């Protein structure tokens, strides 16, 4: 079934649209979910997260656009999997490639970018755990301030303040590293 047809059926509340969406994207959504859960949860937990992603697509079908469905599902899957880990008491980790910096493909440039990523990763890891979570949710997982505030149980103003302090702290830490 074509993506446009799937979206039309979803918006019309036709269950065939949801079935078509799942047929097409369940392997992708499952891969995203399990890439984050990485065995920290049971199979049932992973299936629940994947189901929640498709439920969100059903409920928010008006937000889905042809050609962007896969990206939308991937973002929702990442956020829901991260939320599941957090609810279970796991901390959010900064993946090795989380801070990819664009640049030329020359070996010297690649080495420099790898060193920059390591410095930034170390600086982010140096933030207090709550601030690190807020920082990662907003800048890496692209959650809005409102979404971050709801997820961590803080006001939007408090989240903005912590993001500001986090940026200042990272600047301080990275400046010290460059001087070494």
Annotated domain spans of the chain: 3-87, 107-179
pTM of the complete model: 0.52
- Tell me whether the CATH fold assigned to 3-87 matches the one assigned to 107-179: no
CATH C-level class of 3-87: mainly alpha
pLDDT per residue as tens, the chain (180 positions): 888 999 999 999 999 999 999 999 999 898 888 878 776 778 888 899 999 999 999 999 988 888 889 989 988 998 888 888 777 766 555 444 444 444 444 555 566 667 777 777 777 888 888 888 888 888 777 778 898 899 889 999 999 999 998 888 888 777 775 545
DSSP assignment of the chain:
--HHHHHHHHHTT-HHHHHHHHHHHHHHHHHHHHHHHTTSS-HHHHHHHHHHHHHHHHHTGGG--TT-HHHHHHHHHHHHHHHHHHHTTPPPP--TTTT-------HHHHHHHHHHHHHHHHHHHTS-HHHHHHHIIIIIS---HHHHHHHHT--HHHHHHHHHHHHHHHHHHHHHHHH-
Task: Specify the CATH number of the domain 107-179.
Answer: 1.10.10.10
């Amino acid at each position: 079934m074509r993506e446009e047809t799937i979206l039309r059926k979803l918006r019309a509340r036709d269950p065939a649209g949801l079935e078509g969406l799942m047929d097409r994207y369940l392997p992708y959504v499952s891969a995203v979910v399990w890439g984050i859960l990485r065995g920290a949860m049971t199979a049932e937990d992973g299936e629940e997260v994947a189901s929640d992603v498709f439920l969100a697509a059903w409920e928010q079908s008006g937000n889905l656009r042809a050609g962007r469905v896969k990206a939308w599902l991937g973002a929702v899957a990442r956020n829901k999997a991260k939320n599941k880990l957090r609810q279970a008491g796991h901390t959010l980790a900064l993946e090795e490639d989380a801070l990819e910096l664009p640049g030329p493909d020359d070996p010297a440039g690649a080495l420099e970018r790898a060193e920059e990523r390591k410095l930034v990763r170390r600086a982010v890891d140096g933030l207090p755990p709550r601030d690190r979570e807020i920082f990662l949710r907003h800048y890496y997982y692209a959650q809005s301030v409102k979404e971050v505030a709801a997820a961590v149980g803080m006001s939007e103003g408090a989240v903005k303040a912590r993001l500001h302090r986090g940026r200042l702290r990272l600047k301080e830490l990275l400046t010290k590293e460059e001087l070494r």
